[in-house]
Structure formats: C-alpha cells, structure tokens
Amino acid sequence: MKKIRSAIINDKRHRIVWRKLGREKADGLAWPDICQIEIEERLNPIDAFDTLIHEYLHRALPDIEEDKVYKMANEITNMLDKADLIKR
C-alpha cells in the first residue's frame, strides 16, 4: 500500500496526512476548511481503503449523513475486495 499525500476531491486538491489518531478515537478525519483528510497510519490496507473512501465521501457529498457514508464506504470496499482489486 502506498500512502498517498494528496488527492483531488470535487476538483480541489486535498492534503492527506497519515498519523496516529489514538487521541481522536477515529480512523479518519475530514477538515473541509483546509481541504485536508487525516488517516490513522496503523490501519491495514483494507481498513485504510475503507477509511479513505469514507473521508472522500464526506468531502465529495457533504450533505450525506454519517451512517450512509459508513455504509457506502463499506459496500464499495467489500465489492472491490471481493474482486481482488485492493492490494494487501
């Protein structure tokens, strides 16, 4: 797994910061004001993938509620994992 440092979300470049998020009790965080996503650096590739998709969805579709974002990210991750499209 390559820890990418930036990504385009809704035409805006976002910084991606990989760090320990133990204190925040989250696997990922999205900061709309500064176009930044933070991902727990100790996640395995599948969970990192799920968290990146989750935070992407928060930024791309900000009006969608948490439970729907959670479900959509899980479904996308499961589908691509079943198809062996996620590197471990």
Least Å distance between CB 41 and Zn ion? 18
Q: Which DSSP string corresponds to 5-72?
A: SEEEETTEEEEEEEE--TTTT-SEEEETTTTEEEEETT--HHHHHHHHHHHHHHHHSTTS-HHHHHHH
CA-based nearest residue to 16, from 43, 33, 39: 39
Tell me the residue number closest to Zn ion, measured at CB.
66
Both tokens of residue 50? 């799920």
Taking the least distance from each CB to Zn ion, the nearer of 11 and 66 is 66
Taking the least distance from each CB to Zn ion, the nearer of 3 and 70 is 70
Least Å distance between CB 28 and Zn ion? 7
Taking the least distance from each CB to Zn ion, the nearer of 66 and 84 is 66
Binding positions for Zn ion, 40-69, rule CB under 5 A: 66
Q: State which amino acid sits at residue 85.
A: L
Least Å distance between CB 84 and Zn ion? 26
Residues that bind Zn ion (CB under 5 A): 66
